Structure formats: C-alpha cells, structure tokens
C-alpha cells in the first residue's frame, strides 16, 4: 500500500510538473519566434542604414581630404603673399629713398639756380 501511495504521489507530481512545463515550453517557443522576427526586422532596417552610414563616412573622408588639400594651397598662397609684401616693402623703401634723394637733388638744383640768378643780377648791376 505504501508503494502504491508513493507511486501515486510520484505520478501526480510528474503530472503536475508536465502540466507546468508544457505551457512554459510553448511560451518559450513563442518568445523565440518573436525574437527571431524582431531580429529579422532589425536586419532588414539596419542593412540600408549601414550602407548609408558607410556612404556618409566615405563622403566625410573625401571632404576631409579636399579640405586638407585646400588648406595646403591656402598656406602656399599665404607664403607667396608674404613674399610679395616683403618685396613691395623693399621697393617702396627704395622708392622713398630715391624720392628723398630726388628731393634733395631738386633742392640743391633750385639753390644753385637761385644763386646763379642772384649772382648774374648782382654782376649786371655793377
């Protein structure tokens, strides 16, 4: 009798366990199916986004390369402008020096002419 009761208890426990495991397995199966569908949808949406992101990164690299080349060109132009400014500074300095010499020479000529006229008039009066 004890064995019969023991077997009945074990059978009831096994039946209860199966009764709880079957719905849990079905729910796990539904969850796995939903997760698979979600992952498939995610793959479908991520692939175009990844392609666009890759294109955007390539565009960014291209723009960076172009900007670097343009920056090098601007640096070269800046150096050229600096050289030209230095040359013009020397030319203007030289022209100012020549201008001063010309002014002095003109003043000396004017004084000389004035002295010549003064002396010629002074000698005519005598």
What would the pLDDT profile of 13-37 be if each residue is shown by its tens digit?
A: 888 888 888 888 999 999 999 999 9
Instruction: Decide: pTM greater than 0.85.
Output: no
The predicted pLDDT at position 52 comes to 93
- Which residue has 């479908």 as its token pair? 44
pLDDT > 90 in the chain, percent:
29
Asked whether residue 98 carries a pLDDT value surpassing 60, the answer given is yes
The predicted pLDDT at position 39 comes to 93
Q: Which helix (H) or strand (E) holds 43?
A: helix 2-125
The predicted-structure confidence for 101-118, as pLDDT tens digits, reads as follows: 777 777 888 888 887 887
Buried b / exposed e over 4-27, threshold 16 CB at 10 Å, is eeeeeeeeeeeeeeeeeeeeeeee
**DSSP SS3 for 57:** helix
Cα(51)–Cα(69) distance, rounded to whole angstroms? 27
């Amino acid at each position: 009798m004890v064995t019969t009761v023991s077997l009945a208890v074990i059978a009831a426990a096994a039946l209860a366990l199966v009764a709880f495991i079957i719905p849990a397995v079905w729910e796990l199966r539904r969850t796995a199916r939903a997760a698979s569908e979600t992952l498939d949808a995610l793959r479908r949406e991520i692939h175009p986004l990844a392609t666009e992101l890759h294109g955007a990164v390539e565009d960014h690299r291209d723009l960076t390369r172009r900007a670097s080349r343009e920056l090098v060109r601007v640096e070269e132009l800046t150096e050229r402008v600096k050289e030209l400014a230095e040359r013009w500074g020397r030319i203007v300095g030289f022209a100012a020096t020549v201008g001063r010499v010309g002014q002095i020479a003109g003043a000396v000529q004017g004084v000389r002419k004035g002295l010549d006229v003064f002396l010629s008039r002074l000698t005519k009066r005598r």
